Structure 1
Amino acid sequence: MKYFIQINTFLLLLLSGWQASAQQKGAVFRISRETLQDKIKGGWAGQTIGVTFGWPTEFVYQGTFIQDYQPIPWHADYVSEAMRTFPGLFDDIYMDLTFVEVIERLGVHAPADSFARAYASAGYELWHANQAGRYNVLQGIPAARSGHWEHNPHADDIDFQIEADFAGLMSPAMPGAASALCDRVGHIMNYGDGWYGGVFVANMYAQAFRSNDVKAVVGQALRAIPAQSKFYQCIADVIRWHRRYPSDWKRTWFEIQRKWSAETGCPDGVFHPLNIDAKLNAAYVVLGLLYGNGDFTKTMEISTRAGQDSDCNPSTAGGVLGTMLGYSRIPAYWLDPLKKAERLPFSHTTLALQDVYELGVKHALQHVADNGGRISGDIVEIPQEPVRAVRFEESFSGHFPTGKVQVNTTRSDSVSFRFDGKGFVLRGFAQKLSRNAPDKPVRVALYIDGQLLEEFDLPLIAAHRRTELCWKYGLPQGAHRVTLKAVSPDPDYEIVAREAVVYR
């Protein structure tokens, strides 16, 4: 393993093409305000274009890529149409904007709890790690723990990866500052590889301000991730396969599937073709960036055609490349439909892209100043430091899915099942049987082997819901009995238990 890590680290140093002097103490990166603004606009525009382009393909192609002969629509009014007819498509954007609004109110040093409360109380739809984190925050779990895998079965999912764009866009050429902001925000909904996905993306954005070399941007950003993590190893593999098969993205796609497509955490994806794991989808982002090689259209096509979360992945790739190219260099084929939508506010916010462009520049300049930079006339001077890896952490350590137990029980009082292993996640939900019954949470108690483990609420309101009925990791390996009891059984409400994912 040490040999593997050393080889890949050396590979990344070769790929980076980075000048050593740029990382020496006292080095300064200079960029004009006009160029800075153009790149920030390009980042926001690129991710909006990407998520719109992937709209009809999202999770339609699971475990397969989209064939070349399959057309993906794009037309002059496509972005406006998407914003009017399916505002929930833009969770990539409106989650970012929630955090942007917190920074506008409280500044870049706003505490994690402020970011957590803002998104937990927002009215928009959320899924997977975002929704699990929202539930945890609403139930009083601190922001620094709400994304931890013991509290969140979706800890390794893609969620923070698709909303870390803001952290990189307001940290031009400042990867350390981007990582620090990710630490405060990303652990609200993710942990381990799920958090690393956001750190990696934010670092790619930060690097895109100071390099026009896609390989350098990817390679330098990966240095922010601990080499012993699976996330690092997955992306390092994609870089290596790109070097081996430089003109065949599909061959690299097959290599990614062969080695990295197994799902461990997400209860929706274990033993299922769906895969919303951060590192796999980040691999598709890197696939698009490396094989696109700076061509916006190729990057959009490949990152979308790789499948799985195929609106979020081109959104990330488009945002990074849009930052690298700048708004003014995004091809008109893609940019013109976006321009028609730049005055339309995103879901659950008053902000439209034209507002976000202005706030993006404002926050970036503030962040530069807070990190020792200087604005001198039209020139922005940014002190440079080496990229440093964030701390190592791992979700679901020592846990491997071994099967499912079909529970398929609906009761008002209690549900129970037995399993053999060291952990489980029970999928299901609570519901009311009468329309006239109030939308009050169902209070339940979880017992394992006859011992009360905890009590918690199962909200009926979708925005407040618990993503799964219950879970527990780290039990002694062996036979266990799980019982979920309503604290005050009511015939107007019932617990619906579907199946349990079992771990050893």
Structure 2
Amino acid sequence: MEVTVGPGPRDRVLGGWSGRIAGNMLGKPVERGDYWTRERIDRYLRATGALPLTDYLPGPPPDSEAAGFVLRPEWPACVRGRIHGSCRDDDIDYPILALHLLETHGFAFTTEQVGELWLLRLPYLQTFTAERAAYRNLANGLKPPLTATSGNPCQEWIGALIRADVFGWVSPGDPVRAASLARRDAVLSHTGNGVYAAMWAAALVAAAFTAPAPRDAVRTALERVPASSRLARTVRHMVALYDAGVPWADALTEAERETAGLHWIHAVPNAAVITAGLLYGGGDFTRTIALTVRGGLDTDSNGATAGSVAGVMCGARGIPRQWTDPLEDLVRSAVFGFDGVRIGELADRTLALG
């Protein structure tokens, strides 16, 4: 009798890191949800002959700005054929900081210690939205939870969610611990749905180690956030649409109606895009990150989270090489002491903790 053996622990953790970086790089050129709508992204892909999307985004065609295609300034280093290692991005800086946090303070770390490491290791101008407000509050001597609420209009945005993956990678099959760790980190800068999104993402990554399918991981992660929260209700709605056989594009149109009025960086609509990418991606790595990025909004953050979950589920060896080869096992980071670190080293250090 033939026995199928799934990915081993290191392969899953390496898959998480590699998948997160690849998904981030895929979405980075079109990261601006108020401009790069789903429709504009697909128009760009058709104009460049890249639909269906199976590789990094192509570079812009001639007269692209006249055609309404203005990529982010970093695009030359993160489009197909021009990638040599990862671009620096906060979606990768924060997982590195979380890894360093656990190595330095262990699993009993405090929220105050999270803030101390930010001040020591992260340049202020490489922080954004809620994190920049919290950083400023820390520098002015405020303590949590005031760091999250004082002068911070972005308390429920996506920032804490993008910091959560490591807490899942070090808690394989234990979404309860993953969510608890993520909450302790998140309350430095976020409240309400911003915190719930981080707990959900960490639990989602942890559940991916043992879940038979993405839907199972999504369902398990939902158990870790308040059922009455807007985040939980939105994710449940996406699952219901998927279960009812509603096509991916129509499901996202329904999510847009449900979350109308929320900023494109708000955690709730982005959680809907991530959920749709995972469910309709069906466990296939390429399809998962492609659908997630095509879903718009905070494309690089969403692609990173979906890529992390899909990478854990399929393992590094299950990620097609067009995504991993251009990364050259190299990470660029603004975190002091980590620029140029190898992806494999990050995976080994994460595995040692988990």
The offset of 1:298, in angstroms, is: 1.1
Structure 1 residues 326-385: Cα deviation after superposition (integer angstroms, max 9, x where no partner)? 1111111212222x1x24442233332232111110111xxxxxxxxxxxxxxxxxxxxx
Asked if 2 retains the 8 angstrom alpha-carbon contact of 1:160 and 1:190, the reply is: yes
**Alignment pair present for 1:350 and 2:337:** yes
Q: Which runs of 5+ in 1 are unaligned?
A: 1-31, 264-268, 270-274, 365-504
Give the letter aligned to residue 207 of structure 1. A
The offset of 1:136, in angstroms, is: 1.4
Give the letter aligned to residue 22 of structure 2. I
Q: Secondary structure at the match of 1:146?
A: helix
Structure 1 residues 381-434: Cα deviation after superposition (integer angstroms, max 9, x where no partner)? xxxxxxxxxxxxxxxxxxxxxxxxxxxxxxxxxxxxxxxxxxxxxxxxxxxxxx
Give the letter aligned to residue 47 of structure 1. R
| Cα 1:231/1:43, change in 2 over 3 Å | same
The offset of 1:76, in angstroms, is: 4.8
1:165 corresponds to: 165
Written as runs of structure 1 = structure 2, the 5 A alignment for 1:92-111 is: 92-111=91-110
2:25 corresponds to: 52
Give the letter aligned to residue 168 of structure 1. G
Q: Which runs of 5+ in 2 are unaligned?
A: 51-56, 59-78
Report how many aligned residue pairs link the two structures.
313
2:350 corresponds to: 360
Asked if 2 retains the 8 angstrom alpha-carbon contact of 1:136 and 1:146, the reply is: yes
Match of 1:75 among 75, 80, 87: 80
Asked if 1 retains the 8 angstrom alpha-carbon contact of 2:280 and 2:288, the reply is: yes
Partners of 2:301 and 2:266 lie apart in 1 by 12
Structure 1 residues 51-105: Cα deviation after superposition (integer angstroms, max 9, x where no partner)? 101111001554831225254225355252x52xxx2xx2011112112112212
Give the letter aligned to residue 157 of structure 1. W
Q: Secondary structure at the match of 2:147?
A: coil
Q: Secondary structure at the match of 2:134?
A: helix
Written as runs of structure 1 = structure 2, the 5 A alignment for 1:308-457 is: 308-338=297-327, 340=328, 342-351=329-338, 352=341, 353-364=343-354
The offset of 1:245, in angstroms, is: 3.2
Q: Secondary structure at the match of 1:241?
A: helix
CA-based RMSD: 2.0
Query: Normalising by structure 1, what TM-score?
Result: 0.59
Asked if 2 retains the 8 angstrom alpha-carbon contact of 1:204 and 1:218, the reply is: yes
Give the letter aligned to residue 136 of structure 1. N
1:127 corresponds to: 128
Partners of 1:54 and 1:64 lie apart in 2 by 12
Structure 1 residues 127-162: Cα deviation after superposition (integer angstroms, max 9, x where no partner)? 1111111111112221333223x5521100100111
Asked if 1 retains the 8 angstrom alpha-carbon contact of 2:7 and 2:314, the reply is: no
2:62 corresponds to: none
2:72 corresponds to: none
The offset of 1:212, in angstroms, is: 2.9
Give the letter aligned to residue 173 of structure 1. G
Structure 1 residues 276-297: Cα deviation after superposition (integer angstroms, max 9, x where no partner)? 1001001101111111111111
Give the letter aligned to residue 98 of structure 1. L
Partners of 1:79 and 1:133 lie apart in 2 by 33
Give the letter aligned to residue 227 of structure 1. A
Larger mean CA deviation between 349-358 and 122-131 belongs to 349-358
Q: Secondary structure at the match of 1:69?
A: helix
1:144 corresponds to: 145
More strand by percentage: 1
Give the letter aligned to residue 333 of structure 2. F
Partners of 1:362 and 1:44 lie apart in 2 by 14
Partners of 2:209 and 2:221 lie apart in 1 by 12
| Cα 1:306/1:79, change in 2 over 3 Å | farther
Asked if 1 retains the 8 angstrom alpha-carbon contact of 2:160 and 2:194, the reply is: yes
Partners of 1:48 and 1:256 lie apart in 2 by 26
Q: Secondary structure at the match of 1:159?
A: coil
Query: Normalising by structure 2, what TM-score?
Result: 0.83
| Cα 1:349/1:41, change in 2 over 3 Å | farther
Higher relative contact order (CA 8 A, sep 6+): 2
| Cα 1:79/1:155, change in 2 over 3 Å | farther
